[in-house]
Structure 1
Amino acid sequence: MDKPPAAMEFSPGLTVIYGASDTGKSYVEEAVDYMLGASELKSVPEGDGYTRILLGLRVSDGRSLTLSRAIGGDTIEVFNHDLREVPSEPADETLKSKHNAKSKKNISRYLLTVLGIDGRRVLQNSGGKALPLNFRDLARLAVVNDTRMADQRSPVLGTRMPQNETREKSVFKLLLSGQEEPERPAAPSNLEKQFGKGKIAVIDHLIDETREKLTMEANQSQLRERLDRLQASLGEVTAAAIELAEVRTGLLRDRRGLEEIDLAAQQQAAEVQQLLARFALLKEQYESDLARLQMVGEAGTLLGYFQTGTCVFCGAEPQHQHPEHHVAESTQLAASVSAETRKTTDLLSDLLLMIEDLEEQAADIESARAARDEQLTLNAAELRALDQRMQPVDTDTTELLNVRSRVESELALHAQIQQLEDLKASLSTVAPALPAARPDGIPAADVADFERMIHATLEAWHVPGNNHVIYDPTTAELSVDGQPRKSRGRGMRSILHAAFAVSLARRNTARDLIHPGFVVLDTPVLTYRRPEDPEEERPELMTSDVVENFYQDLLENPLGQVIVIENPTPPTSIRGRAAVHAFSVDGSVRQGFFPPRDRQ
């Protein structure tokens, strides 16, 4: 019967599908896996009546492909263009869904050819048998359902079957190093045997020389444990140094502030002293003017009473002077002198008040300067005491760094010895034996590079702890801060699995190593709980800080295509930057992956 399409558009970057349970979110992940060769697809009631799935792919050369598979079918049709409806035209290719190393007419060989890695070989068992790679080997590392996300088994061991461990470790070795397993060698000739003996002698000599360089009586496991302890101690010492440095920075900031205030006060004091000097001169001038005015008044009185002849006030001759002429003139002079004396006296009074105010300001400035001197002296004493406290911290840091350097050098020597031992083991001088079956023989440099990548991812997500990562190729176990992933809680196992998958994709795409170029993560952060309150009555789910930084990192440091399936609403900051599909939540456009039955 006719059914409206149930479609989902994926972003070439980040796609987030979230919402209520039982709305078809995980069905999207399962359908993607089914189209990549999974053997079966779980049926759901909402899918009744739907008969075919289409999956669009865009390969690295820019071509668009569409895969078409009937639900329950064992063949997959390939169309060499972007197809959005059930096809009516014949397919460009028809492939089997199950891998077959002897035929190219299956989806696994087709996708491996698209990736340019068809024919790469991996170990099948510990006996050294090597078989071609299967695309399902890659899909298990790229498409992670919610059960495997929190599983206690290593992310490398995806099938949960012990008989597959050798192959799964060998697949991961191929991805991490790019080194495929060699073909079974032919039996060596007598000349090759003699030549091999010479090689072995040289290798033995190199092994002995390398062992002589070892200075610590500890094996690799003990050295790694010691390195973990050193990292933890360095973290503590570094935290103490940072705390002391912050205190010292505060003291220096206070000192600079006091010195700036003192400089401004010195400038103000200089200005006050300049004004006092000027006002002192002006005071002397006023006092001199008053003395002169007094002298003029006294002289005018005397002149008016005792002189005859021409009037000293108006210049009139005696015959033109009226009686008591000098009395009027002397009275006029006295009035002028008195008025000028009052004016000058008022100015002097105002000046004295200003001088008094400036002297008070100068005294206040000097008092404040003395207080600041005491503060600066105290600040200098605190800085000296803090520097004395920082000396042993600096010494401890230097010693820890030196010891860590020695331990890392010892580990490098052990790795070199292991490589020489592996090379020696590959040189057969007795029988045409197979090379050592070592699916865990990943070069130490590649392991360390992958460990650093996971560490950087966990740090970017703000996962609590030092996030010191160790991957053990022998057990395929991932440990963080000295604790194996399998012993962690469900939430932390999920976070670490997500970091593993993201870091592998990011590392391999950046280094042009083998990877499908996408990851699908089902419930990577839902079950994580804050470590500081695991016993609370209603524990919170993933802290917003980790959730926010989880999505922020996927946006800012793209690894290719990422599809995240979660229940909670993602941060609003990703809106407009990622494709977000909400199922059955307030404001969502759709109720689930399948259209509502009333529309069907």
Structure 2
Amino acid sequence: MIRLTLVHLTFLGMGKSPAAVEFSSGLTVIYGASDTGKSYVEEAVDYMLGASELKSIPEDAGYTRILLGLRVSDGRSFTLSRAVGGDTIEVFNHDLREMPSEPADETLKFKHNAKSKKNISRYLLTVLGIDGQRILQSGRGNVLPLNFRDLARLAVVNDTRMADQHSPVLGTRNPLNETREKSVFKLLLSGEEEPERPAAPSNLEKQFGKGKIAVIDHLIDESRGKLTLEVNQSQLREQLDRLQAALSEVTSAAVELAEVRTSLLRNRRGLEEIDLAAQQRGDEVQQLLARFALLKEQYESDLARLQMVGEAGTLLGYFQTGTCVFCGAEPHHQHPEHNVAESTQLAASVSAETRKTTDLLNDLLLMIEDLEEQAADIESARAARDEEFTHNAAELRALDQRIQPVNTDATELLNARSRVENELALHAQIEQLEDLKASLSTMAPAPPIARPDGIPAADVADFERMIHETLEAWHVPGSNRVRYDPTTAELSVDGQPRKSRGRGMRSILHAAFAVSLARRNTARDLIHPGFVVLDTPVLTYRRPEDPHEDRPELMTADVAENFYRDLLENPSGQVIVIENLTPPASIRGRATVHAFSVDGSERQGFFPPRERQ
């Protein structure tokens, strides 16, 4: 399949220094301050590809002609030349960089005309080898030739559309163009143009059944519009049988894993109960040890006092003759051996109390020793239980890792079964309506409704996978599970529609959509212009106080770096990125980088400063 590459964009004017920017065949980055002409580059490229208008800015005063150089993948080069505000585009079959001095090889109108080849749309489609490809104009089956502007809207994305809530597929945001835009996207994804269909007679409703048939046709159209799978009822029933068998296997595996997990949780609860009882017993033992330690100190203090009393009796002369130190009797009033009896009774009392206290202390020490052994046993058992807890937790984690894909498979199978059952129900409803319609009229059946959203499911799944891989490569937060609904043309990520996301996330998702489409169609040799122009695709963070941001979303800091790295390492053709923020230093030397009005940059903007004119 032929591709185009943008080579340069050049503005010329009498007495004006040329304003030009070169594009790499791989990645080109244009960045810098606001109001330096970055977005003007994207608008000018789109203008040269057939857009009707290019809004003027003060800096373009005096410039009268625009040149856009292009190179074809077969080696040819040509240049498009258009006057600022002009209705015609001239084609020169070589690389032109200055005001043309020779007649153009072709002179074309900027507006598409299916009946004439003298317009830029038919010319570019012919270069790409896809002129005459048919797309659907309406649900009644009317077809018309492809317009290059339909491709340009998917490849050249300005900053407004980048963050717009409308689907990237619906570039014009006009409901009247929705059928055509869906049909264009179907052509790009599947590579299959719309077949010619016989036109239905305009007076069918009046001739056969009138109002009743019109109502039934409307109901049939509605039912068919809800169909999403390009398969018949027999194939759907086969799918349903296969899904049911697979679901039974997955359910059985899930039940077995759930029983194992329940057993592990039961063991864990048992360990927790034992651990709680052991902890309570350990607390009781520690409290007893604390109390017994105080009692031991008391016994030891009592023994020390008794020893002191025994020693004091000798030191204080309790055993000498004279006035009795116990009763105060004089010697001549004392019985024989009076002091000896008193001293003997004191010594006996001290000795008896000492023995008693010593026995109590020994008993206490035995109890303390026993409690300490219990405490050691409790601690040893606790350490063993910690190992059991760790082992149990590891088994639970391993089991959860096994359960997760099983649960995911079960969910996907249930969703798939639900879709197939819904499709079968719609087919049954359509059959009933067709039977009712046949009973009301014997007219020839009208041609089936055209389906611009009837993209083969395999192509949709392939495109979803490509966007998922792109988002993963850019490190966009989340699981990045991508779903594209051909009926609504809505792109959803992780179950959340793109239109409901914040501005920054809408922009990065639109960029992933455009890059993935180019990457997929280039790899599969399907229709694509060959280049992508993205204006402000990477907004890493929008402050909550930003009045334009209803639901600000925070991205990881490395999204921008991985965005550029992926475009370099996994090229999708030519990509031109226009951004305010400075790209990562890692792309220097590997991509063409133009810096406008930043420190160290060679140019202040797209147009030269006025003092240099």
Is the shorter-chain TM-score for this pair beyond 0.5, marking a shared fold?
A: yes
Partner of 1:47: 60
Partner of 2:214: none
- AA partner of residue 480 (structure 2): N
Q: Do the aligned partners of 1:99 and 1:106 also contact (CA within 8 Å) in 2?
A: yes
CA offset digits 1:385-435 (Å, max 9, x no partner):
344324542552354144146336526846986998999999x99536343
1:186-585 matches, cutoff 5 A = 207=233, 210-211=236-237, 214=240, 384-390=391-397, 392-394=399-401, 396-397=403-404, 399-404=406-411, 406-407=413-414, 410=417, 413=420, 430-431=443-444, 433-526=446-539, 528-529=541-542, 543-585=556-598
Question: Is 1:30 the counterpart of 2:43 in the alignment?
Answer: yes
Q: Do the aligned partners of 1:529 and 1:542 also contact (CA within 8 Å) in 2?
A: no
Question: Is 1:184 the counterpart of 2:197 in the alignment?
Answer: yes
1:89 and 1:117, CA in 2 relative to 1: closer, same or farther beyond 3 A?
same
Counterparts of 2:468 and 2:526, CA distance in 1: 20
Counterparts of 1:544 and 1:380, CA distance in 2: 40
Partner of 1:121: 134
Counterparts of 1:568 and 1:541, CA distance in 2: 16
1:422 and 1:11, CA in 2 relative to 1: closer, same or farther beyond 3 A?
farther
Alignment: residue pair count: 431
Partner of 1:290: none
Deviation at 1:82, TM superposition (A): 1.0
CA offset digits 1:440-499 (Å, max 9, x no partner):
111111111111111111111111011111111111111111111111111111111111
Partner of 2:86: 73
Secondary structure of 1:158's counterpart equals coil
Counterparts of 2:595 and 2:428, CA distance in 1: 56
Counterparts of 2:502 and 2:114, CA distance in 1: 40
Partner of 1:354: none
Q: Do the aligned partners of 2:531 and 2:575 also contact (CA within 8 Å) in 1?
A: yes
Secondary structure of 1:58's counterpart equals strand
Counterparts of 1:3 and 1:78, CA distance in 2: 23
- AA partner of residue 607 (structure 2): F
Counterparts of 1:420 and 1:446, CA distance in 2: 22
CA offset digits 1:213-236 (Å, max 9, x no partner):
637999xxxx9xxxxxx9xx9xxx
Counterparts of 1:103 and 1:418, CA distance in 2: 47
Deviation at 1:185, TM superposition (A): 2.6
1:430 and 1:41, CA in 2 relative to 1: closer, same or farther beyond 3 A?
same
Counterparts of 1:549 and 1:180, CA distance in 2: 36
Partner of 2:15: 2
Deviation at 1:62, TM superposition (A): 1.1
- AA partner of residue 414 (structure 2): V
Deviation at 1:125, TM superposition (A): 1.6
Deviation at 1:377, TM superposition (A): 9.1
1:401 and 1:491, CA in 2 relative to 1: closer, same or farther beyond 3 A?
closer
- AA partner of residue 214 (structure 1): L
Partner of 2:27: 14
Partner of 1:278: none
CA RMSD in angstroms comes to 3.9
Partner of 2:345: none
Q: Do the aligned partners of 1:121 and 1:180 also contact (CA within 8 Å) in 2?
A: yes
Counterparts of 1:177 and 1:215, CA distance in 2: 28
Q: Structure 2: where are the runs of 5+ without partners? A: 1-13, 202-230, 262-380
- AA partner of residue 403 (structure 2): D
Counterparts of 1:475 and 1:160, CA distance in 2: 13
Task: Using structure 2 for the length normalisation, give the TM-score.
Answer: 0.64
Deviation at 1:507, TM superposition (A): 0.6
Counterparts of 2:167 and 2:88, CA distance in 1: 32
Question: Is 1:152 the counterpart of 2:142 in the alignment?
Answer: no
Counterparts of 2:394 and 2:583, CA distance in 1: 47
Counterparts of 2:60 and 2:479, CA distance in 1: 46
Q: Structure 1: where are the runs of 5+ without partners? A: 189-204, 224-229, 241-373
Counterparts of 2:200 and 2:165, CA distance in 1: 42
Counterparts of 1:209 and 1:553, CA distance in 2: 40
Deviation at 1:173, TM superposition (A): 0.7
Counterparts of 2:521 and 2:65, CA distance in 1: 33
Partner of 1:89: 102
- AA partner of residue 410 (structure 1): R
Partner of 1:363: none
- AA partner of residue 56 (structure 1): G
1:584 and 1:380, CA in 2 relative to 1: closer, same or farther beyond 3 A?
same
